[in-house]
């Protein structure tokens, strides 16, 4: 991506996908990367275009190109217990995931390019296993290195 990215990591518990997105949004808002409009747009987009990915280690990739993004940010959320996200490839099916990557990418070109990089990243079970195991403080640098 052409501009600098901010990588954040959070842990928590959520009762459902909506609350998981809100946890990511809270982390990004506390950092000053996005505002509530972005979080709301991610929730609305998820209803119409689900982002659950039933990979070897299931993940969800909520995102929006909405207003409210102040800087490109990727927030990784590791949940204590899995939550159910509808699948991106079949919105009648779902996957339970503990790993959420919430993307706030400002420019359309950067958005697509980053989504492609992230898809390669989340389809690598070894990389996701590291996201499960690493201490939370080490996750942002790990993701930045992997997505380079």
- The Cα–Cα gap between 28 and 86 comes to 23
Placement of tokens 């998981």 in the chain: 20
Is residue 48 a part of any domain in this protein? yes
Q: Is residue 148 part of a domain?
A: no
What is the chain's pLDDT, residue by residue, as a tens digit (148 residues)? 345 789 999 999 999 999 999 999 999 999 999 999 999 999 999 999 999 999 999 999 999 877 899 999 999 999 999 999 999 999 999 999 999 999 998 876 676 777 788 889 999 999 999 999 999 999 999 999 998 7
**Secondary structure class of 64 (helix, strand, coil):** strand
CA 113 to chain centre: 15
- The CATH number of whichever domain residue 36 belongs to comes to 3.40.930.10
CA distance 7 to 64: 16
1 belongs to a structural domain:
no
Q: pTM to 2 decimals?
A: 0.93
Q: Is 77 helix (H, G, I), strand (E, B) or coil?
A: strand
| Alpha carbons 23 and 142: distance in angstroms, whole number | 21
Give the integer Cα–Cα distance in Å for 148 and 130: 16
Residue 131: give the domain boundaries: 6-143
Per-residue pLDDT at 1: 39
């Amino acid at each position: 991506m052409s501009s600098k990215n901010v990588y954040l990591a959070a842990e928590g518990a959520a009762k459902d996908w909506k609350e998981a997105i809100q946890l990511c949004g809270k982390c990004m808002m506390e950092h000053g990367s996005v505002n509530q409009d972005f979080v709301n747009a991610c929730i609305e987009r998820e209803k119409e275009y689900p982002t659950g990915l039933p990979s070897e280690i299931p993940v969800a990739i909520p995102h929006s190109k909405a207003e409210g993004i102040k800087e490109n940010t990727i927030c990784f959320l590791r949940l204590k217990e899995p939550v159910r996200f509808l699948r991106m490839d079949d919105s009648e099916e779902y996957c339970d995931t503990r790993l959420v990557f919430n993307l706030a990418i400002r420019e359309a070109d950067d958005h697509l390019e980053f989504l492609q990089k992230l898809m390669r990243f989340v389809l690598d079970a070894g990389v996701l296993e590291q996201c499960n195991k690493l201490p939370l403080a080490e996750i942002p640098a790990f993701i930045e290195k992997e997505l380079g």
